[in-house]
Structure 1
Amino acid sequence: MSEDQKIPIKNIYYMICYAWNTLKIEDKTLVGIEKFDSIYNLLAKVIINGVNNIIKRGFHREYTDHKEELTMVRGKIDIMNSIRQQSLTRKRLVCDYDEFKSNVCFNQILKTTIGMIIRSHDLDDGLRKELIDIKYYFSQIDEIKINVRVFSLLKYSRNNIHYKMLMNVCELIYSGLITNESGNKFKFHDFIRDKQMEKLYEKFVLNFYKKHLRAEVYKVHSPKIKWDLDKNFNNIGMEYLPEMRTDVVIENELEHIQTIIDTKYYASALKSRNFSESKKLISDNLYQILAYLNNSNYLGTVSGILLYPTTEQELNIKYKINDKIIKVKTLNLSADWEEIYKRLINIINADENVC
């Protein structure tokens, strides 16, 4: 989308909630009624409110293993290491023991992320002060070097599931927003123009339909579609055949209707090759959705939707090609959230009537 097209920060927040499948009643109150002029201030406020909730509940704690030379026995005595280190000559013993501590990965990620946000020069001074005040609660917690592996090692249970939204926000800040470090300040991407927005848009639409369509009627998933290859032909070079990875597939199991939605995060659904030519749909996108429809092995009616975001012109286009219905729709991300909700529901309800 172009730089002058603006998506309200609060809409981005709701998209984040859906994309990570963490939208709960309490998440809707994390930001409150304040209006934010940047993604940095929004995420800072999410961190502040989320951490305040954690402080009220108490930091998540885990048992951690320790091996230490002590003057008093604690836990189990490590005889071999006590002899090897000649601990007895110093009237000490090497002991293995467990300690129930809050200095664990979840809290270390939070403390490190808070430090990153504080050092951003784009942050509102009032929010910076709040983060500095909150950081005092982490005095017994270490900062760590954050990388992709750190997030992959997180294990959730009913005792720490309330950390999930915050961990996802921390991962977004690490992987999508921070581009480089200069001195003691961090430089942030423009989130709206970043490639992360394409992934966010796709996951948002998928999980929106998973949440709001009745599970007893609809199956919402994102499967791979296999090429409808001729089994009587000796196909050579299968490893070079590209995969058809769908964004969103919705199957009405009562009406036997499959709707394949391909989300496209483009500045516009229409383009022209030169200034004198009228604008047309992007041909590659049409070819792609048509390939999905022609190779789908669904035993029922199959239709497709190209779904573009927009903050301006709304499109409602419909074609029938090779006996397959293809629609081109737009979703106005600058609208009120209630309008976005209605538009997405109406898009799939209208697609039920594909004949």
Structure 2
Amino acid sequence: MNPVPATSIPIQNVYYLLAYAWDHFRTGDEVDIDQSQCPDAHNLLAMLLCGGIRRLATKGMDKDYRQFTETTPRLRGRVDVLASHRRMTHVSGKMICEFDELTADTLPNQVLKATCRRLNRFSMHLSKDNRKQVRHCLDLLADISDIRLASRAFHRVQLHRNNRHYRLLMHVCQMLHSLFLPDQQSGTHRFRDVLAEETVMHRVFESFVRQFAVKHCPDAKVSAMKIAWHGEWEDDVNSVLPTMLTDVTLSRPTRKTILDCKFYKEALVTRHNRHRLHSSHLYQLMAYLNNKSIDEGWETVDGILLYPAVNHHLDLSFSLLSHDIAIRSIDLDQNWPLIHQRLLDVLS
């Protein structure tokens, strides 16, 4: 199944998807994306990264205390007397000192620099202005150490109250890293088109819908809910049962809804000139509904399958095993106010 084609989604709408998904959207914000600077999602990510780094350079970059060891004639911190005598540094009037120093050479800033270096190295698909901005950001990060960027670096980044403004930038860096893989044919590295990557964009779309619901459905408790299987089995069966984790669950006092997001170009399968729903999508949703409806207060839970379609419009409603089912689509090639209203209607 083909993912939603990149050319069908205006780049301004891609920005809104990412801003919501990364919880960086402020109500009332409107953006005017320069098409010459951001002709595609790759350039959009580069623009977001460079803009964020410039703001950090102006307002002050994240700093933390790091321990340094230095052989110096000026005593500071803890003096390592034994090591100094062992190396005979005292002969030249110096001692080995260990001290803490506040520095901007932190892991988040090292991740930013490593991402900029990679963008600069593979900048053939960037606009002229974005290439210039990437080089400028490398100058701003000149005092930051170079690291080899790996997936584990993002798990080591610790965000807290004082550096939480790095969250969007870390998301941008992580997405660019996930798109930077070797070409299977040539073996060379390249950046893949983010919108052509179904797995990546499914996570973005799912998070976008969930964060949109958090902001615009104040009457509902919004979550990604883990659903337990209801049945009887031996203990060893638990280890092989698949996990049921919803994309978006809305719990209202009078209504419960489980919403499953699918980032597909076509919500219907065409076989023998007949259009049908994806069976696996409907089976999965029914498994969620049937198992969750056994829990107290969830007896009448309903379900929604949501597709970010650009080639058709779906509004199907029916009932299965006493559960109300809705199949909906959102046309991402529309102006954003129409997308906003459509999603409000789906979630209401």
Q: For 1:310-329, what aligned pairs fall within 5 Å after superposition? A: 310-329=309-328
Q: Secondary structure at the match of 1:228?
A: coil
Identity of aligned residues (%): 31
How much is the aligned-residue C-alpha RMSD, in angstroms?
A: 2.3
Q: Secondary structure at the match of 2:137?
A: helix
Tell me: CA distance 1:5–1:42, structure 2 relative to 1, closer, same or farther (3 Å): closer
Q: For 1:91-170, what aligned pairs fall within 5 Å after superposition? A: 91-119=93-121, 120-170=123-173
Q: Secondary structure at the match of 1:332?
A: coil
- 2:277 — aligned with what? 281
Which one of 86, 89, 95 corresponds to residue 88 of structure 2?
86
| Equivalent pair of 1:5/1:311 in contact (CA under 8 Å) | no
Q: Does 1:238 align with 2:242?
A: no
Offset, 1:2: 4.9
- 2:177 — aligned with what? 174
Which one of 221, 226, 234 corresponds to residue 228 of structure 2?
226
Q: For 1:1-355, what aligned pairs fall within 5 Å after superposition? A: 1-3=3-5, 6-24=8-26, 28=29, 32-35=32-35, 36-119=38-121, 120-175=123-178, 177-180=179-182, 186-194=189-197, 195-214=199-218, 217-230=219-232, 237-253=237-253, 255=254, 257-273=255-271, 276-296=272-292, 297-300=295-298, 301-349=300-348
| Equivalent pair of 1:121/1:186 in contact (CA under 8 Å) | no
Tell me: CA distance 1:157–1:235, structure 2 relative to 1, closer, same or farther (3 Å): closer
Query: How far, CA to CA, are the matches of 1:15 and 1:33 in structure 2?
Result: 14
Deviation track 1:203-229 (CA, whole Å, cap 9, x = no partner) reads 111111112211xx3111111111121
Offset, 1:343: 1.0
Query: How far, CA to CA, are the matches of 1:107 and 1:298 in structure 2?
Result: 48
Offset, 1:268: 0.8
| Equivalent pair of 1:261/1:304 in contact (CA under 8 Å) | yes
Tell me: CA distance 1:318–1:235, structure 2 relative to 1, closer, same or farther (3 Å): farther
Q: Which runs of 5+ in 2 are unaligned?
A: none
| Equivalent pair of 2:42/2:193 in contact (CA under 8 Å) | no
Q: Secondary structure at the match of 1:250?
A: strand
Query: How far, CA to CA, are the matches of 1:209 and 1:25 in structure 2?
Result: 13
Deviation track 1:303-332 (CA, whole Å, cap 9, x = no partner) reads 000111101211110111111111100011
| Equivalent pair of 1:311/1:334 in contact (CA under 8 Å) | yes
Q: Secondary structure at the match of 1:133?
A: helix
| Equivalent pair of 1:248/1:261 in contact (CA under 8 Å) | yes
TM-score with structure 1 length normalisation? 0.88
Query: How far, CA to CA, are the matches of 1:209 and 1:39 in structure 2?
Result: 24
Offset, 1:126: 2.0
Q: Secondary structure at the match of 1:272?
A: strand
- One-letter amino acid of the structure 2 residue matched with residue 221 of structure 1: S
Query: How far, CA to CA, are the matches of 1:283 and 1:337 in structure 2?
Result: 31
Deviation track 1:166-191 (CA, whole Å, cap 9, x = no partner) reads 1111111112x2113899x9511121
- One-letter amino acid of the structure 2 residue matched with residue 317 of structure 1: L
| Equivalent pair of 2:5/2:265 in contact (CA under 8 Å) | no
Q: Secondary structure at the match of 1:69?
A: strand
- One-letter amino acid of the structure 1 residue matched with residue 278 of structure 2: I
Q: Which runs of 5+ in 1 are unaligned?
A: 350-355
